[in-house]
């Protein structure tokens, strides 16, 4: 079986490329060309023909990922399936299943059955969880079992995988010589892999046998997302030598993977001050040959716990503006607890808002709907406004709970509504040659 990348290089426009072109309003030939260059990836899976088709990369709308999964404390499969359903209903583009507690094979299979979204995961989570249960020591993980597990997860229907290939002896040495980390190591998969390498005095098998990893991904045409295992977990660690060493290696591996015909993404931080986000994305794009960039947040401050979905949305809007392609949401529970259903809903909504803000800044053609909202608001056309909003249910709930005496206004201004009075003052000038959404 050939991958989307290999087919694009042969000049074949696949059904998935056609669907991406249709949804994004792009020419099919253009989509094929960018897939061929590795600037767009399409997570697919031959065993999930009804899976939603999503394009991620250059010139496309910024996509939003929602992450779910059990922990060692909370192992409720039905809750995870409900969270998957909420993420899809709230229009997340992809889903990551990141369970570490309970029957991990069953959880993955049931989540896959519960959603049409492309589903990704981090295979190191299950590998080290099961090594801990079996040996009471995750450092006794057998590398051969890790490769067997990757294939088993792919066979179940996983469409993209975050695999920590960029952690190697060189990047660990940078961390050791650096001599400090304010935020420590915050990636579960990355921390376990560093620990395994130190305990066994061995190179990372995922780096050492990178061609084998790519071969497995190609077999299922899954996207290999190069995990950011040494990402900064504090803004004071942003762009330190350890993080940059891994980023350079991941960008090199992205090029090697594409040469092998594998669809590739690069993952990024993490905690990044607002003024460094643009530079971070520029570096990834320049060093990777414009490989799609998948970022976590990013969070531009460390002290926002409880509202980190807002903190991250600020970072994500900037990331989308400067060229990030896939944003992993952050929920209000970040740094505090396992997200519940409402946390998932709020996380997706905040990140979708951020992605749209960034896209509007990057692509002026996306501002047309904002103009339609403004006209409806100007005309106090509440029905048209609700139809155009991203979250009409929430807006309607707020308005419906505080009903004004005059239905043309709201309870904020009441009889002193600037919109209602202002439109009458310049009626001919403002409305003379323009149609409101109600008239259109």
When pLDDT is cut at 50, 70 and 90, the band that residue 424 belongs to is low
Q: Is residue 354 part of a domain?
A: yes
Query: Residue 108: which CATH number?
Result: 3.20.20.540
Structure tokens at 420: 């209602």
pLDDT score of 395 more than 50: yes
Q: Is residue 437 part of a domain?
A: no
pLDDT score of 420 more than 90: no
pLDDT score of 96 more than 60: yes
Give the mean pLDDT of the chain. 94
Domain co-membership, 349 together with 404: no
| pLDDT at site 187 | 92
Domain co-membership, 410 together with 277: no
In SS3 terms, the chain reads as CCCHHHHHHCCCCCHHHHHHHHHHCCCHHHHHHHHHCCCEECCCCCCCCCCCCCCEECCCCCEEEEEECCCCCCCCHHHHHHHHHHHHHCCCCEEEECCCCCCHHHHHHHHHHCCCCCEEECHHHHHHHHHHHHHCCHHHCCHHHHHHHHHHHHHHCCCEEEECCCCCHHHHHHHHHHCCCCCCCCCHHHHHHHHHHHHHCCCCHHHHCHHHHHHHHHHCCCEEEECCCCCCCCHHHCCCHHHHHHHHHHHHHHHHHHHCCCCEEEEECCECCHHHHHHHHHHHHHHHCCCCEEEECCECCCCCCCCHHHHHHHHHHHHHHHCCCEEECCCCCCCCCCCCHHHHHHHHHHHHHHHHHHHHHHCHHHHHHHHHHHHHHHCCCHHHHHHHCCCHHHHHHHHHCCCCCCCCCCCCCHHHCHHHHHHHHCHHHHHCCCCCCCCC
- Tens of pLDDT, residues 218-275: 999 999 999 999 999 999 999 999 999 999 999 999 999 999 999 999 999 999 999 9
When pLDDT is cut at 50, 70 and 90, the band that residue 439 belongs to is very low
| pLDDT at site 428 | 61
pLDDT score of 430 more than 70: no
Residue 52 contacts residue 92 (beta carbons within 8 Å): no
pLDDT score of 403 more than 60: yes
pLDDT score of 421 more than 80: no
pLDDT score of 440 more than 60: no
Domain co-membership, 341 together with 390: no
Q: Which of 286, 255, 251 is nearest to 268 (CA)?
A: 251
The crossing angle, in degrees rounded to 10, of helices 15-24 and 28-36 is 120
| pLDDT at site 409 | 86
Domain co-membership, 295 together with 385: no
Domain co-membership, 211 together with 321: yes
Domain co-membership, 112 together with 211: yes
When pLDDT is cut at 50, 70 and 90, the band that residue 408 belongs to is confident
User: Given 314, 336, 362, which residue is the final one in a domain?
Assistant: 362
Mean pLDDT across the stretch 183-206? 95
When pLDDT is cut at 50, 70 and 90, the band that residue 59 belongs to is very high
Q: Is residue 60 part of a domain?
A: yes
pLDDT score of 12 more than 90: yes
pLDDT score of 88 more than 90: yes
Segment of 331-340, 361-370, 376-385 carrying the highest mean pLDDT: 331-340
Residue 238 contacts residue 232 (beta carbons within 8 Å): yes
- pLDDT cut 70: percent of the chain above it: 95
Mean pLDDT across the stretch 135-146? 96
Q: Which of 284, 248, 252, 291 is nearest to 268 (CA)?
A: 284
Domain co-membership, 154 together with 280: yes
Hey, which residues does 120 pair with through a beta bridge? 96, 160
| pLDDT at site 365 | 87
- Tens of pLDDT, residues 280-294: 999 999 999 999 999
| pLDDT at site 438 | 44
User: Given 315, 336, 362, which residue is the final one in a domain?
Assistant: 362
- pLDDT cut 90: percent of the chain above it: 89
Q: Is residue 436 part of a domain?
A: no
Name the domain count of the chain.
2
Q: Is residue 199 part of a domain?
A: yes
Domain co-membership, 350 together with 393: no
Mean pLDDT across the stretch 357-367? 93
Which pairing describes strands 56-57 and 40-41: parallel, antiparallel, or unpaired? antiparallel
Domain co-membership, 347 together with 403: no
Q: Is residue 279 part of a domain?
A: yes
Domain co-membership, 240 together with 122: yes
Domain co-membership, 245 together with 308: yes
Domain, as residue range, for 386: 367-431
Query: pTM here?
Result: 0.94
Domain co-membership, 350 together with 371: no
Q: Which has the minimum average pLDDT: 192-201, 395-404, 419-428?
A: 419-428
Q: Is residue 439 part of a domain?
A: no
Mean pLDDT across the stretch 69-96? 97
| pLDDT at site 432 | 44
User: Given 324, 346, 362, which residue is the final one in a domain?
Assistant: 362
Q: Is residue 188 part of a domain?
A: yes
- Tens of pLDDT, residues 142-164: 999 999 999 999 999 999 999 99
């Amino acid at each position: 079986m050939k991958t989307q990348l290999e087919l694009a290089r042969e000049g074949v426009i696949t059904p998935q490329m056609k669907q991406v072109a249709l949804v994004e309003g792009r020419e099919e030939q253009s989509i094929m060309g960018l897939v061929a260059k590795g600037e767009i990836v399409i997570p697919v899976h031959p065993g999930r023909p009804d899976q939603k088709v999503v394009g991620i990369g250059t010139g496309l709308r910024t996509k939003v990922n929602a992450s779910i999964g059990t922990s060692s404390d909370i192992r409720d499969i039905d809750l995870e399936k409900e969270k998957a359903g909420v993420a899809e209903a709230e229009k997340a583009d992809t889903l990551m299943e990141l369970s570490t507690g309970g029957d991990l094979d069953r959880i993955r299979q049931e989540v896959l059955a519960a959603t049409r979204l492309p589903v990704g995961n981090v295979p190191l989570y299950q590998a080290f969880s099961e090594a801990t249960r079996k040996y009471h020591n995750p450092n006794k993980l057998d590398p051969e079992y890790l490769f067997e597990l990757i294939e088993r997860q792919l066979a179940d229907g996983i469409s993209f995988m975050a695999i920590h290939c960029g952690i190697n002896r060189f990047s660990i040495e940078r961390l050791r010589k650096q001599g400090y980390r304010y935020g420590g190591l915050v990636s579960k998969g990355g921390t376990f892999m560093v620990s395994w390498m130190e305990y066994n005095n061995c190179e990372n098998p995922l780096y050492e046998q990178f061609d084998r990893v790519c071969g497995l991904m190609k077999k299922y045409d899954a996207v290999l997302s190069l995990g950011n295992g040494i990402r900064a977990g504090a803004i004071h660690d942003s762009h330190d030598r350890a993080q940059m060493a891994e980023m350079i290696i991941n960008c090199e591996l992205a090029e090697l993977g594409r040469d092998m015909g594998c669809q590739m993404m690069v993952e990024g931080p993490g905690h990044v001050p607002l003024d460094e986000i643009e530079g971070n994305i520029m570096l990834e794009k320049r060093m990777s040959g414009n490989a799609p960039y998948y970022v976590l947040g990013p969070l531009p401050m460390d002290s926002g716990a409880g509202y980190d979905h807002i903190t991250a949305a600020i970072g994500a809007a900037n990331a989308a503006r400067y060229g990030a392609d896939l944003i992993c949401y952050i929920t209000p529970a970040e740094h505090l607890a396992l997200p519940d259903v409402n946390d998932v809903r709020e996380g997706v909504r905040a990140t979708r808002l951020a992605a749209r803000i960034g896209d509007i800044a990057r692509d002026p053609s996306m501002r047309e709907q904002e103009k339609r909202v403004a006209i409806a608001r100007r005309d106090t056309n509440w029905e048209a406004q609700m139809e155009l909003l991203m979250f009409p249910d929430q807006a309607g709930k707020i308005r419906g709970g505080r009903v004004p005496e005059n239905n043309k206004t709201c309870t904020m201004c009441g009889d002193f509504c600037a919109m209602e009075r202002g439109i009458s003052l310049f009626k001919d000038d403002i409305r003379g040659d323009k149609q409101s959404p109600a008239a259109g």
